[in-house]
C-alpha cells in the first residue's frame, strides 16, 4: 500500500519528529572526576596508615656495628620487631612488640612471651628482629631471647622454630 502523503509533506513530518527527539542539541563530553578523587583519597589514607605503623615499630637507639661481614639484611617476609627500649645505666626501660609495651621485669617477660606465642601460633615461620641499644647490658637481652625460644615451643605448632635476628647498623 503506497504512502498517502506527498514527498514534501513526508519530509516535514520526519523533520518535526526528529526535532522533538533531539531538542537538547549536541551532547557535551565531560570527564567524571569522582572516581579519580576517590582513588586519590584512598591512596592518601593508605600511606598515612602505613607511615603510622612504621613509626610504632621504631624506637631511637644506638645500634651496635658489626666487625665482620657475617651479618646480612633480612627480608621483610613474615617478621616481628621486638625493641628493648633503652634505660639509664645500660638497663632496659621496657620491651615493645608492635604497639604493645611490656615492663622490664618478670611480669613483662611473661606478657612478652604470651604475645610471641600468639604470633607463633598464627605463623610458625615467623622471624623476629630483636633490637637493643648498644649500651644495653646483655642481662636485659637474654630473658627476651629465652622468652622467644619458650614461645616457639609453647605455640602448639611442631613446625614453629625460634628464628631471631639481632639488628645492628651496617657499616658502609
- pLDDT of the residue at 24: 59
Mean pLDDT, the chain, whole residue set: 77
Compute the average pLDDT of residues 158-168: 76
**Inside any domain, residue 44:** no
C-alpha cell at 141: 637481652
- pLDDT of the residue at 26: 61
Q: Is the pLDDT of residue 62 over 80?
A: no
Q: What is the pLDDT of residues 11-28, one digit of tens each?
A: 666 666 555 555 555 666
**Inside any domain, residue 83:** yes
**Inside any domain, residue 144:** yes
**Inside any domain, residue 102:** yes
- pLDDT of the residue at 110: 92
Backbone phi, psi, residue 129, to 5°? -95, 120
Compute the average pLDDT of residues 146-161: 83
**Inside any domain, residue 113:** yes
**Inside any domain, residue 54:** no
Q: Is the pLDDT of residue 67 over 70?
A: no
**Inside any domain, residue 114:** yes
Q: Is the pLDDT of residue 59 over 80?
A: no
**Domain containing 160: what range?**
79-166
- pLDDT of the residue at 133: 83
Compute the average pLDDT of residues 74-87: 76
- pLDDT of the residue at 167: 77
Number of domain units in the chain = 1
**Inside any domain, residue 130:** yes
Compute the average pLDDT of residues 93-113: 89
Q: Domain holding 134: CATH number?
A: 3.30.420.270
Q: How far is CA 32 from the centre of its chain?
A: 32
The string of DSSP letters for 110-171 reads HHHHHHHHHHHHH-TT-EEEEEE-TTS-HHHHHHHHHHHHHHHHHTS-TT----EEE--PPP
Amino acid at each position: 500500500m503506497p504512502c498517502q502523503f506527498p514527498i514534501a509533506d513526508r519530509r516535514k513530518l520526519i523533520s518535526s519528529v526528529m526535532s522533538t527527539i533531539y531538542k537538547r542539541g549536541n551532547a557535551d563530553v565531560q570527564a567524571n572526576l569522582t572516581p579519580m578523587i576517590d582513588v586519590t583519597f584512598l591512596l592518601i589514607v593508605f600511606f598515612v596508615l602505613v607511615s603510622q605503623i612504621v613509626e610504632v615499630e621504631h624506637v631511637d637507639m644506638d645500634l651496635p656495628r658489626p666487625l665482620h661481614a657475617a651479618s646480612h639484611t633480612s627480608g621483610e617476609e613474615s617478621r616481628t620487631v621486638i625493641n628493648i627500649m633503652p634505660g639509664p645505666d645500660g638497663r632496659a626501660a621496657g620491651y615493645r612488640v608492635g604497639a604493645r609495651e611490656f615492663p622490664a621485669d618478670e611480669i613483662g617477660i611473661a606478657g612478652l612471651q604470651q604475645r610471641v606465642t600468639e604470633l607463633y601460633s598464627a605463623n610458625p615461620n615467623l622471624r623476629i628482629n630483636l633490637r637493643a641499644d648498644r649500651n644495653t647490658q646483655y642481662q636485659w637481652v637474654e630473658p627476651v631471647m629465652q622468652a622467644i625460644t619458650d614461645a616457639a615451643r609453647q605455640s602448639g605448632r611442631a613446625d614453629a622454630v625460634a628464628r631471631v635476628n639481632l639488628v645492628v647498623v651496617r657499616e658502609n
